[in-house]
Amino acid sequence: MIYLKTPHEIDQIRAACTLVSRTLGEIAKSVVPGVTTQHLDNIARQFILDNGGKPACLGYGGFPATLCIEVNETVVHGFPSNYALREGDIIGIDTVVELNGYNGDMCYTFPVGEIDPQVRRLLETTKQSLYKGIQACKPGNRIGDISNAVQTYCEQHGYTVVREMCGHGIGKKMHEDPNIPNYGRRGIGPVIKNGMCLCIEPMINLGSKNIVIESDGWTCRTKDRKPSAHYEHTVAVLDDQTHILTTFEPIREALGDRFI
């Protein structure tokens, strides 16, 4: 069941998206060699609470942290830990903020110091594929058009698309219908309509598309342990247009010329 939102509800979701965007901007400065992923989680949790929000991942289905931490081969849903970031790592940071009962969801994959040019291209292509998906997210199109745009762009560049994890609707709940796969045929799936709020989130691998879930029941990594990238925006369809509600601008401001 897809819940269409009123313009007022979309304003509420936009406010949650602004806070989640500022949260990732806040931690961007600390994504440097030597910092532990637990430290990043502590900063994020405090920042969200200080700004009147709720860290929505914390306790969700038993998830133990504010941030999902995705170092190198981790695809999604990794836990913060005492692992200290190293030069050449990549780290995807995915989190959801609840504000006044509505959710905003965003993910960004950061390079840590200088990274391998091949991995840098994976990040650039994955981020670009997110915008290809958003361009296909037009009222009257179908969800499959988003899926196909992401898949086509990434496969053209020689990368593979994770099958098991999807984007999703969002609102009062973090995960609502519809599912938004990052692969599939054009013209299939629900029609995109005014009032939809959607999270588009390509998860793209350098090697094979296969993943495994670790014994903690959450951490999802590539089977071949090659790197995986992940970017996510929350968007809303309103007045026959698609509006991107989250923004990478605070990250750009924090990183300056280190921004990819």
Residues in touch with Co ion (CB under 5 A): 105, 199
Least distance (Å) between residue 246 CB and Co ion: 10
Q: What string marks each residue from 220 to 239 as x (binds ligand MF3 by CB under 6 A) or -? A: --------------------
Question: Judged by CB, which is closer to ligand MF3: 192, or 203?
Answer: 203
Instruction: Decide: 191 and 229 in contact? Cβ < 8 Å.
Output: no
Which residue of 28, 71, 96, 149 would you call a contact of ligand MF3, by CB under 6 A?
96
Q: What string marks each residue from 39 to 78 as x (binds ligand MF3 by CB under 6 A) or -? A: ------------------x--xx-x----x--------x-
Least distance (Å) between residue 189 CB and ligand MF3: 18
**Residue 158 contact partner, candidates ligand MF3, Co ion, none, CB within 5 to 8 A by sort of partner:** none
259 near ligand MF3, judged by CB under 6 A: no
Instruction: Decide: 44 and 23 in contact? Cβ < 8 Å.
Output: yes
Instruction: Report the distance separating Cα 76 and Cα 126, nearest Å.
Output: 14
Question: Judged by CB, which is closer to Co ion: 71, or 130?
Answer: 130
**Residue 146 contact partner, candidates ligand MF3, Co ion, none, CB within 5 to 8 A by sort of partner:** none
Least distance (Å) between residue 57 CB and ligand MF3: 4
Question: Judged by CB, which is closer to Co ion: 192, or 199?
Answer: 199
Least distance (Å) between residue 248 CB and ligand MF3: 15
Cα 85 versus chain centre, distance: 20
Count CB neighbours of 6 within 10 A: 10
The amino acid occupying position 205 is N
DSSP state of 50: H
105 near ligand MF3, judged by CB under 6 A: yes
Closest CA to 142 of 184, 105, 175: 184
3-state secondary structure 86-133: CCCCEEEEEEEEEECCEEEEEEEEEECCCCCHHHHHHHHHHHHHHHHH
118, exposed or middle or buried, with CB in 10 Å at 0-12, 13-18, 19+? exposed
Instruction: Decide: 134 and 168 in contact? Cβ < 8 Å.
Output: no
**Residue 131 contact partner, candidates ligand MF3, Co ion, none, CB within 5 to 8 A by sort of partner:** none
Binding site for ligand MF3 (CB under 6 A): 57, 60-61, 63, 68, 77, 94, 96, 105, 168
